[in-house]
Chains A and B, each alone.
Chain A
């Protein structure tokens, strides 16, 4: 398991490194159109061919990977912070607050995740600039993805509330705010780390789903979702196999995240 975890981390670092060097590896950028060669197959000039409007697919994969891989952790950070704030605080305060937080998470969890995403995404304007669409898509993931984590954190904070050190600190006159930030929150760190790492692959997959359904990142900005949308035009799997490169890359990255996660779980046990 240790070797698998090391390999997974190495793969993730490699993919992140390559995507961050997109400016050097594909200096022409993701939006440049090669109008003489639209829909071309792989060649020395275009390693993964070009898309239907002549953009270099290799460049788009690099930039798309960069967007998905940088913004999914950012969204995970937002959702973990919200989960800590809502779940942790509600658990620490207990009573009615904890019950209200649980009712709220129950409500969010009663809707299928993808359904919740498309419902809230539909309430936002759809015809927005590509940059705004990226911000909207990943913000949505961050702002809606906190519920299950909040549930776990609320339960952990509820048990911490009864811990001896918390009672002692309270008896010594430590204020609630200080008690929460200085004593309770640091003890929730393992749960927070786990939730952060769990959220990243989940958000990568969610963005891909939204992108394929046409509700994700807007053109011409690439992301794994918008790159996978190309598969819609295929007639057979063997027809243009290079179009599957973004899918293979996504599967490799998500698998690597899962391997790192399961190794962490194993270590925790």
Chain B
């Protein structure tokens, strides 16, 4: 188990470093990297302008640029946002709690809804009900996330509900398949035939079979929910990380976007690795 955790940890660090490097390459080679509007400020002396120019030139080497950024990040300095003029670290610190709340509430809504519908469809085994639940989830699957965010503004409902409805169809599709497969296993069919209560079947027989795979879906759903937070926060006027990323993209504030990218990569990798390790623990416990 410790070996598995260590492997995940190493993979996580390697992915973060590689992701950071690729984002640094993106920032370094983006059009306009060398342009600094301060250089045309008439109030600055020629020495100051030369110093600014030299500082830019020092960043031409991508490896030096990346190691310098890493070194500063290690000491807690994530740089300054070009568009908002504030330290990136404080911007991220201020906005993270709202996004966390939004994502977790959205995930709770989507999982609650998806599991309730998938379980009831598996219990009832009525083709009409199955078609209805599939049609409901299919409808949400066919709507762009940003439209659901706009509709949540129009209907004055919480942004978390929009995130939940964006994530719901993806979770429903997988959980319906997993639960459907679990319910068709011979020992579960026998348990039903012997008259065991549905709740007992769910908790004693279905969850242990489908649980580890559902956990893997849970890990992936965190990534989907973070992606959903961008349009929801941007269009609902919620000052979270998603809105910050959107503002940074519109203002081409690439240093800010680079830090947010690394943060998001870290969170999604942690969620996926966590789900994988817990799933493995459950399977080991079962064996």
- Asked if A pairs with B, the answer is yes
Q: Please tell me which stretch of B60-68, B111-119, B193-201, B250-258 contacts chain A, meaning at least 4 of its Cβ atoms lie within 8 angstroms of it.
A: B250-258
User: What B residues does A122 contact at CB under 8 A?
Assistant: 30, 248-250, 252-254, 257
Interface string of A189-218 (1 = CB under 8 A from B): 000000000000100010011001111000
List the B side residues contacting A123 at CB < 8 Å. 26-27, 29-30, 252, 254
User: In the complex, A237 Cα to B147 Cα: how many Å?
Assistant: 12
- Inter-chain contact A213/B32, CB cutoff 8 Å: no
Decide: A232 near B150, CB < 8 A? Known: A107-B15, A126-B252, A212-B144. yes
B211 interface contact, C-beta 8 A: no
A168 at the interface (CB under 8 A from B): no
A124-170, CB < 8 A from B: 124-126
A208 touches B246 (CB 8 A): no
Whether A112 touches B264, Cβ cut-off 8 Å, given contacts A208-B147, A213-B230, A234-B154, is yes
User: Shortest Cβ distance from A103 into chain B, in angstroms?
Assistant: 8
The reply on A254 being an interface residue by CB < 8 A is yes
Q: A208-B144, A208-B146, A228-B146 are in contact. Are A110 and B257 (CB under 8 A)?
A: no
Partner of B231, one of A120, A125, A209, A247: A209
- Closest partner residue, chain B, to A211 (CB atom): B146
The count of chain A contact residues (Cβ–Cβ below 8 Å) is 40
Q: How far is the CA of A237 from the CA of B154 in the complex (A)?
A: 7
Q: A118-B249, A213-B146 are in contact. Are A112 and B227 (CB under 8 A)?
A: yes
Give chain B nearest CB distance to A246 CB in angstroms: 10
Once bound together, how far apart are the Cα atoms of A247 and B269, in whole Å? Answer: 34
**Contact indicator B32/A212 (Cβ below 8 Å):** no
Question: Contact check: which of A111, A114, A236, A250 meets B261 at CB < 8 Å?
Answer: A111
Q: Which residues of A contact B155 (CB under 8 A)?
A: 237
- CB interface residues, B 207-259, toward A, < 8 Å: 223-224, 226-228, 230-231, 234-235, 245-246, 248-250, 252-254, 257
Nearest chain A residue, comparing its CB with the CB of B248: A122
Some 20 contacts from A to B, beta carbons below 8 A apart, are A107-B18, A110-B223, A110-B265, A110-B268, A111-B19, A111-B268, A112-B226, A112-B227, A118-B246, A122-B30, A122-B250, A122-B252, A122-B254, A123-B29, A208-B146, A212-B147, A212-B231, A225-B144, A231-B150, A234-B154
* Residues of A that sit less than 8 Å from B by CB: 103, 106-107, 110-115, 118-126, 201, 205, 208-209, 212-215, 225, 228, 231-232, 234-237, 247, 250-251, 254-255, 258
Which 10 pairs from chain A and chain B are nearest by CB?
Answer: A112-B227, A212-B146, A122-B249, A208-B144, A123-B30, A254-B142, A118-B249, A114-B227, A209-B146, A251-B142
Residues of B within 8 A of A (CB): 11, 14-15, 18-19, 22-23, 26-27, 29-32, 138-139, 141-147, 150-151, 154-155, 223-224, 226-228, 230-231, 234-235, 245-246, 248-250, 252-254, 257, 261, 264-265, 268-269, 272
Additional pairs, 16, CB under 8 Å, beyond known A119-B257, A247-B143: A103-B14, A107-B18, A112-B227, A115-B227, A115-B230, A115-B261, A118-B230, A122-B249, A122-B253, A122-B257, A123-B30, A212-B147, A213-B234, A214-B250, A215-B249, A237-B151
